[in-house]
């Protein structure tokens, strides 16, 4: 088996994931690109488990395993560290995508859009409620249009502090 083939596939998948994260505007598509990156790392771990750099032989295929004496019993049953780590990465990816999609859905409820570059990072809009946001869709005038609404729970808490 030539390990360079899956290694290069993993590297290209990772590059595609980076490109997708930077290029896409839709938050769900950004999460899909993140999944591609995580999968590339999984492929890298599994390939490294099957073909670690220390055991790679040249084209003459003279495979000197490890010259040490205690390496004999590990060569009989090589450890599966890479596969175990790829299982861990799969679990972390599942947790990540669950929380990430919950955040994306909350963003959609709040702004009625999930384009990542429509999210204002420098202004804090207090809880205006879904009606106010939908009425004034481009999010910025929502604060002006919602002057007569009832104070949200956060604002009431802040007023109590004052």
Partner 1 sequence: MTGTDALTLALGAVAVGAGALVVTTRHLVRAGLYLVVSLGAVAGLFLVLTAELVAWVQLLIYVGAVVVLLLFAVMLTRAPIGASDDLDRPGWPAALIGGGAGLGLAALLVDAYRWSTVELPEPGTAERLGAEVFGSWVLPFEVLSVLLLSALVGAVVVSVRIPGRRR
Q: Interaction with partner 1 in 116-145: which residues (CB under 8 A)? A: 117, 127-132
Q: Which is nearer to partner 1, 109 or 158 (CB)?
A: 109
Q: How far is the CB of 162 from partner 1 (least distance, A)?
A: 20
- 47, with CB counted inside 10 A (0-12, 13-18, 19+), is buried
Q: How far is the CB of 6 from partner 1 (least distance, A)?
A: 5
Q: How many CB atoms lie within 10 A of CB 126?
A: 12
3-class secondary-structure state, position 125: coil
Contact (Cβ atoms closer than 8 angstroms) between residue 84 and residue 49: no
Q: How far is the CB of 77 from partner 1 (least distance, A)?
A: 7
> Binding residues for partner 1, how many (CB under 8 A)?
89
Q: Which is nearer to partner 1, 51 or 136 (CB)?
A: 51
Q: Which residues contact 148 (CB under 8 A, 6 or more apart)?
A: none
- The yes or no reply on residue 157 touching partner 1 (CB under 8 A) is no
Q: How far is the CB of 150 from partner 1 (least distance, A)?
A: 8
Q: Please tell me the total number of residues recorded for the chain in this structure.
A: 162
Q: Binding marks (x or -) toward partner 1, 92..111, rule CB under 8 A?
A: xxxxxxxx-xxxxxx-xxx-
3-class secondary-structure state, position 158: helix
Q: How far is the CB of 70 from partner 1 (least distance, A)?
A: 16
Contacting partner 1 (CB under 8 A), which of 28, 66, 72, 137? 28
Contact (Cβ atoms closer than 8 angstroms) between residue 114 and residue 27: yes
């Amino acid at each position: 088996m030539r390990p360079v083939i899956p290694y290069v596939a993993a590297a290209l998948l990772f590059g595609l994931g980076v490109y997708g994260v930077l290029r896409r505007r839709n938050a769900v598509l950004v999460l899909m690109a993140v999944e591609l990156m995580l999968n590339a790392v999984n492929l890298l771990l599994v390939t490294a488990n099957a073909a670690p750099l220390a055991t790679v032989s040249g084209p003459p295929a003279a495979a000197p395993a490890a010259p040490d004496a205690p390496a004999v019993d590990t060569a009989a049953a090589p450890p599966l560290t890479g596969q175990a780590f790829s299982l861990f990465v799969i679990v972390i990816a599942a947790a990540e995508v669950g929380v990430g999609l919950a955040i994306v859905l909350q963003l959609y409820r709040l702004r009625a859009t999930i384009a990542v570059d429509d999210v204002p990072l420098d202004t804090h809009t207090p809880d205006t409620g879904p009606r106010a946001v939908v009425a004034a869709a481009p999010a910025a005038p929502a604060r002006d249009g919602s002057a007569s609404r009832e104070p949200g729970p956060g604002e009431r808490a802040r007023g109590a502090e004052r």
